């Protein structure tokens, strides 16, 4: 396989980079430009622009990558979430448990399916949905009012590219006879105990938004499942609920994938394993450099008696998880001031996410308030994503860490 990366702008070991972007897709494009242009030309020559052979080929390749067996291409990651939920049996009047700390689409897709989101807090270490709290919520429901709400699905999010604890969610599925749907939008290529994200629940949704590890040149998404019946249902739903032209057995939507996006994604599929491995290597470099600065030790804080008082804390990594580092996220004291300092040094960063879902104004009808999800709320005040993409250089990572050390010095 040809190399998936291209040399970054030259920099000596001691040179200070002029800027370090959060993401630089130009570097990726330079390495695959000819392949991409040839794939787009192939689609243009075929004049088959929606669904068709390119989408079918991508579906087969994603099914093989994830181990799910079936994949259904669609228009976006948000569309994929809706398809996954409806295929899993979510109906108007149902409820779906999900995390309070994720992108808005994790919850808005539940509402679009006619259901009510039930937000549950996250684990303090990984910031993934806390399976223990989910189990408690389901037991309380069963004990107090089993008919009060129909909880049809639990929707864990594989946040930042690390799978949620799918062993525990698997046990929850068995105990409560409930479906697990994966929000794997950030986790293409991730694994849990050697099994691919996308094959760990009844259905799973992936996003190919341009910033993702496997990214289209526009919007696109895909849904995976191990169930042939669900796959066929999702194929109908993405095409106005139609099993054949001009026959409509249910209300679906126009959620079809464009062939050009599939062709671009198929080019990138040949590189995704290498790109994900480079992300893991960059994460290890960040870890090593942060440890060397002492920033992740409480000894560097005036409040050394409190381990959580370290200026920088790294998120926990589950030993069962093969992380793909869609984002490299730290928890930082004086986060907003730090971010401004990095901006002044032309170092990119982003906050994923500044407001937990249960506090979004659109969900005020649920009656939740500040203090109801304390771990998510604290995370929203502290998380900061640092530059992360395959072509990032060690010199750039070193400058990011040195700059953070300068801020706290």
Looking at residue 14, its pLDDT comes to: 57
In DSSP terms, 354 is beta-bridged to none
Looking at residue 240, its pLDDT comes to: 82
Looking at residue 173, its pLDDT comes to: 96
What is the C-alpha separation between 381 and 212, in angstroms, rounded?
A: 24
Classify 281 as helix, strand or coil. Answer: helix
Mean pLDDT of the chain: 92
Walk me through the domains of the chain, giving residue ranges and CATH numbers: 33-269 (3.40.640.10), 272-408 (3.90.1150.10)
CB–CB of 185/205 below 8 Å?
yes
Looking at residue 6, its pLDDT comes to: 43
Nearest Cα residue to 402 out of 316, 310, 241, 285: 285
* DSSP state at residue 316: P
| Digit-coded pLDDT (tens) for 223-252 | 999 999 999 999 999 888 777 787 788 877
CB–CB of 44/168 below 8 Å?
no
Question: Would you write out the chain's pLDDT as a tens digit for each of its 409 residues?
Answer: 334 444 444 444 457 889 999 999 999 999 999 999 999 999 999 999 888 999 999 999 999 999 999 999 999 999 999 999 999 999 999 999 999 999 999 999 999 999 999 999 999 999 999 999 999 999 988 777 656 668 999 999 999 999 999 999 999 999 999 999 999 999 999 999 999 999 999 999 999 999 999 999 999 999 999 999 999 999 999 888 777 787 788 877 888 899 999 999 999 999 999 999 999 999 999 999 999 999 997 554 334 345 567 999 999 999 999 999 999 999 999 999 999 999 999 999 999 999 999 999 999 999 999 999 999 999 999 999 999 999 999 999 999 999 999 999 9
Looking at residue 9, its pLDDT comes to: 47
Angle between helices 394-408 and 272-293 (to 10 degrees): 30
Looking at residue 206, its pLDDT comes to: 98
Looking at residue 4, its pLDDT comes to: 42
In the chain the first and final C-alpha atoms are separated, in Å, by 45
What is the C-alpha separation between 325 and 323, in angstroms, rounded?
A: 6
Helix (H) / strand (E) element for 237: namely helix 228-237
Q: What is the secondary structure of 91-106 as a DSSP string?
A: -TTEEEEEESSS-THH
Looking at residue 72, its pLDDT comes to: 97
Helices (H), 47-190: 53-66, 77-87, 105-112, 131-144, 166-176
Looking at residue 145, its pLDDT comes to: 62
Query: Greatest CA span in the chain, whole angstroms?
Result: 70
What is the C-alpha separation between 11 and 308, in angstroms, rounded?
A: 36
What is the C-alpha separation between 73 and 70, in angstroms, rounded?
A: 10
Measured at the alpha carbon of residue 260, what is the angle toward residues 256 and 264, in degrees to the nearest 5?
Answer: 115
Antiparallel, parallel or unpaired: β 383-386 and 328-332: antiparallel
Looking at residue 241, its pLDDT comes to: 74
Q: Which two tokens stand for residue 48?
A: 């088959």
Measured at the alpha carbon of residue 281, what is the angle toward residues 280 and 284, in degrees to the nearest 5?
Answer: 90
The order of strands in the sheet holding 191-192 is 195-196, 191-192, 321-322
Nearest Cα residue to 83 out of 290, 327, 255: 255
| Digit-coded pLDDT (tens) for 302-326 | 343 455 679 999 999 999 999 999 9
């Amino acid at each position: 396989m040809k190399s998936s990366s291209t040399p970054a702008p030259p920099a000596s070991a001691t040179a200070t980079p002029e800027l370090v972007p959060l993401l630089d897709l130009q570097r990726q494009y330079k390495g695959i430009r000819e392949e991409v242009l040839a794939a787009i030309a192939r689609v243009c020559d075929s004049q088959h622009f929606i669904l068709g052979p390119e989408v079918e080929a991508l579906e087969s390749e994603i099914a093989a990558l994830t181990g799910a067996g079936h994949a259904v291409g669609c228009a976006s990651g948000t569309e994929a979430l809706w398809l996954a939920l409806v295929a899993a049996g979510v109906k108007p009047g149902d409820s779906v448990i999900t995390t309070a700390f994720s992108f808005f689409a994790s919850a808005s897709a539940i509402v679009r399916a006619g259901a009510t989101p039930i937000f549950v807090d996250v684990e303090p270490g990984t910031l993934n949905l806390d399976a223990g709290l989910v189990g408690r919520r389901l037991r309380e429901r069963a004990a107090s009012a089993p008919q009060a709400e129909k909880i049809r699905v639990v929707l864990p999010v594989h946040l930042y590219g690390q799978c949620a604890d799918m062993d525990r969610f698997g046990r929850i599925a068995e105990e409560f006879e409930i479906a697990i749907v994966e929000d794997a939008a950030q986790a293409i290529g991730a694994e849990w105990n050697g099994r691919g994200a996308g094959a760990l629940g009844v259905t799973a949704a992936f996003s190919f938004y341009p910033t993702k590890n496997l990214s289209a040149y526009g919007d696109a998404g895909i849904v995976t499942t191990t169930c042939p019946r669900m796959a066929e249902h999702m194929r109908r739903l993405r095409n106005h609920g139609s099993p054949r032209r001009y026959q409509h057995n249910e209300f679906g939507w126009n959620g079809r994938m464009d062939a050009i996006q599939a062709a671009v994604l198929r080019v990138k599929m040949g590189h995704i394993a290498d790109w994900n491995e480079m992300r893991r290597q960059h994460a290890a470099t960040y870890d090593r450099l942060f440890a060397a600065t002492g920033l992740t030790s409480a000894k560097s804080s005036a409040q050394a008696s409190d381990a959580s008082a370290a200026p920088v804390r790294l998120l926990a990594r589950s030993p069962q998880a093969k992380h793909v580092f869609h984002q490299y996220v730290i928890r930082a004291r004086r986060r907003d001031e730090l971010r401004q300092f990095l901006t002044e040094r032309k170092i990119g960063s982003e906050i994923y996410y500044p407001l937990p879902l249960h506090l979004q104004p659109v969900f005020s009808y649920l009656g939740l308030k500040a203090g109801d999800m304390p771990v998510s709320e604290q995370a929203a005040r502290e998380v900061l994503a640092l530059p992360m993409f395959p072509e990032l250089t060690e010199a750039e990572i070193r400058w990011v860490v040195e700059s953070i050390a300068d801020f706290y010095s």
